[in-house]
Structure formats: structure tokens, C-alpha cells
Amino acid sequence: MEERSLGDCIDEYLLYLANVKGRSANTVKAYTEDFKHFDGHLERDTGISSVTLGQLREVVGDLSREGYTVTSIDRFISAVRGLFAYCRKNQYIQVNVALELKMLKKPKVLPRFMTQAEVDTLCSQPDRKPLLWPARDKAIFEMLYSSGCRVSELASLKFSDFTEGYGSAVVEGKGSKDRYVYFEQDALAALHAYLSERKQRFPASMEDGGSFVAEIFLNQKGRALSASGIEMIVREYSGLRGTNKPMTPHSFRHTFATAMLLNGADVREVQSMLGHASINATQRYTHVTAERLRAVYDQAFPHSGKKD
């Protein structure tokens, strides 16, 4: 068999991920960015079978010296291992040297969540400081908190996804798995207020026809708001011009999970609500709730050693 080049193998593997494995556009884009780390180390026309374990480790070492996080480096390693496993399966290589490329040991980092007071303050920021589109932004915050949605799930939410009026919706999570998410009264009130304004500002976007926009959330130009747009909105209101306590859309998701567990939800139920494939991803929130309950105990119990 003719020797395949590293560049050709990468291109073919990315097409395989998109068209055969059905990976999302964001996932394929992330893999594409990861493979760019080969630049400066290995040329695209390098024969794939001539790549050595030492060369792969050299790339990893350079990423570490350049200050990349453990998570970013591990993502690169995962991408490389996937590429070489694909090449071995298709007999482009006889030996998979990437099998010896070990993932780095990650420090345990507990999810960043907000207290109820912080959630209330952030959700009220669009009313107090109308920085962008207050009705839309408040609806985004309330719906993120109420549902535990990922930012990509909220950005792609369409009118046709809702059930029970607007009280629940079906979202497509990771792995193209559908699940129900729910919206409580504060979220519903904020959503209806936003949709009323949306209809006034962009009436054509609410009507069937060429100008109709299926996605719920629009940007200032009347087009579908992207996930990065939602991230920017959260940064704006939680940054210096807002609460000055930087948050991300994922902070709402962490807070949702923590609140559910603190209020008695079973970890398996929370796993289903979050769309986690593994219970391990959900169980990390039990550590957060355990620490928080311990702090409450130390503060409240009379023999906890606290002095008046």
C-alpha cells in the first residue's frame, strides 16, 4: 500500500468523524484546531508510518512549556490517539505508536457554581443595567438556570422544540441524544416578555415564509444568536460593567445541578436532566454539595467550635 501522509490522514479522519461517526461541527472544528499543534513539528507530507512516539511526546512537551492547560493538552492527546487508531484500523500503519502516549494527570477542580444570591443578582442585571437587549438577555439567563442547558443547546433551541406551551422542550445534546428540559415560572415570564419584544422588533422573523427564523434567540440584526454570542452576553453582564464576578453559561449549568442535588434530587435523575452519558460526570456535583452542607453545619451547629 502506498504510504499515506500525515496531512492526508488528518483530512480523511476529520471527514470520517463528520460523515460516518456523526460528530457535531463544533467537535470536528475542535479536532481540526488540535491537529494544528503538529505545525512546526511535523510537515503535512510526512509519512504517517514514520511518525515516532518521541516526536509525539515532543509536541506534548512543547505545549506544556508554552503554557497550555492540562485539559487542552489532553484533548490534543485524545485527538492524536483517535487519529492513529483510525490509521491502524485502515492498515495505513503497522504499529500504533500513539498507544504509548499517556494522558496527563488532571488536578481535581470542582465545578464553579453560583449561590442563590449571585444567581438572582446576575439574572436581574439586564433590568438594572440594560447593556445589550435586556428582555432577551434576562430570558437567556433565566432559561439557562432553569433548565441546565448547555450553551450550544440553548442557542439551537427552536420554536418547534417546545412542548407544553413553553414549559418544556426537547434538546439535542452530545452524541445526538435528545432529552427533555424544563422551564419554571420566572423563565417563562422572561421568555414571553422577550418574544413580545422580538415580534415588535423583527415581525417577519415570527411569520412563516422566507424571513422566518426558527431559533428562539436572535442577535441585534435579527439573525439566530450563536453560542459564542450567548457566551459574550454572560461575560458582559458578569464582567466589569455588570456584577464584576465573571461567569460563563456553564456556571448556570453547574448551579442548576448543585441546586437540584441540594434540594433532594437523586443523582441519577440529575444525570438524566443534564444529559450526561456517564454517572461519573454527575457525581462530581455531590462533592460540591457535600462541601456546602459541611460549611452550613459548621456555621449552624452550636458545638462546631464557632465563637460568638
The catalytic residue positions are 150, 174, 250, 253, 276, 285
The amino acid sitting at 119 is V
Let me know the angle formed at the C-alpha of 245 by 244 and 248, rounded to the nearest 5 degrees. Answer: 120
| Amino acid in position 125 | Q
d(CA 83, CA 38): 13
Q: Rounded to whole angstroms, what are the CA distances from 60 to 28, 170, 229?
A: 21, 40, 32
Query: 146, 131 in Cβ contact below 8 A?
Result: no
What the block records as the C-alpha cell of 35 is 491537529
Exposure string (b/e) for 204-219, b if CB count within 10 Å is 16 or more?
ebeeeeeeebebbbbe
Residues 98 and 77: their CA atoms lie apart, in Å, by 8
User: Of all residues in the chain, what percent are helix, strand and coil, respectively (each to 5)?
Assistant: 60, 5, 35
Per the CB < 8 A criterion, the answer to whether 216 and 210 are in contact is no
CB 235 within 8 A of CB 241: no
For residue 178, the SS3 value is strand
Q: In whole angstroms, what is the distance from residue 161 CA to residue 243 CA?
A: 32
Q: How far apart are CA 148 and CA 168, in angstroms?
A: 12
Rounded Cα distance between 14 and 35, Å, is 10
Quote the Cα angle for 234-239-245, to 5°: 95
**CA distance to 45, 52, 106, 226, per residue, from 194 (Å):** 53, 56, 41, 17
